[in-house]
Amino acid sequence: EKAVNLKKDLAEMQEWMTQAEEEYLEKDFEYKSPEELENAVEEMKRAKEDVLQKEVRVKILKDNIKMLATKVPSSGQDLATELNVVLENYQLLCNRIRGKCHTLEEVWSCWIELLQYLDLETSWLNNLEERVQMTENLPDKLDAVNDALESLESVLRHPADNRTQIRELGQTLIDGGILDDIISEKLEAFNARYEELSHLAVSRQIALEQQLQTMRETDHMLQVLQENLVELDRQLTSYLTDRVDAFQMPQEAQ
């Protein structure tokens, strides 16, 4: 009777493993929204816990069959053969569910990381847009233009590492058919805004550099003119003091 019960327990265990495999490993998942992906991750975590909890039952079966084999070798040998099959299938099921759970957790982590990088780069784009707007309607003063140019250039020196991560993470998920529509939409909007603002910022940078160069050249010309006027004023004052007749002066003094 004990052998019959153990055989029945082995059959039930095998049936449960078959059902678990169909439910957790053979079902096709389509992750078209973050909610679907997150639910799948949580489901696989529960599946892993559920399968690992059966380890106690498997151990009890193993011990009972070993004990029976010592008392009734003939019955025990047959059950031991069936037990080996169940143990092998159970270990395979554990490994496959662990693997799928790990994969889904990695995919979810990849999605969260992508969102974090997008947030960082969006903040940078907001800052860049603000700096570009600050270059409009500047006072016609060299210091103001120079400060605006330096401020804009400091933002433009932003490294490209984050954008590289965004591109690689997004492509990895899209290639796996994970949230591909949502990610494609996010990346398209981000890239379009990045290209637009970058082009505008570089154009403003070039315009400010040209404006600054013109202002510096004008300032230099005014300085030279001022110095010449001061020297001319000194010479004229000297001529007047010495009561020199105008026709005796050099042409430029006349």
Q: What's the average pLDDT block by block, 10 residues per block, for the chain (254 residues)?
A: 80 90 78 90 92 88 78 71 87 92 94 97 96 91 93 93 95 89 95 96 95 92 94 84 65 56
Residue 26: the pLDDT is 77
Residue 245: the pLDDT is 63
**Taking the CB of residue 55, how many other CB atoms lie within 10 A of it?**
12
- In this structure, are residues 183 and 174 in contact, taking their beta carbons and an 8 Å threshold? yes
Walk me through the domains of the chain, giving residue ranges and CATH numbers.
1-211 (1.20.58.60)
Q: Which residues, in sequence order, are CB contacts of 153 under 8 Å at separation 6+?
A: 205
Residue 121: the pLDDT is 97
Residue recorded with tokens 């019955």: 75
Query: Which pairs with CB-CB distance under 8 Å and at least 24 residues apart come from 124-128?
Result: 124/155, 124/158, 124/162, 125/193, 125/194, 125/197, 127/155, 128/155, 128/156, 128/158, 128/197, 128/198, 128/201
Q: Which amino acid is present at 198?
A: S
pTM of the model: 0.78
Residue 235: the pLDDT is 83
Question: Following DSSP, what letter does each residue of 84-142 receive, concatenated?
Answer: HHHHHHHHHHHHHHHHHHHHHHHHHHHHHHHHHHHHHHHHHHHHHHHHHHHTTT--S-H
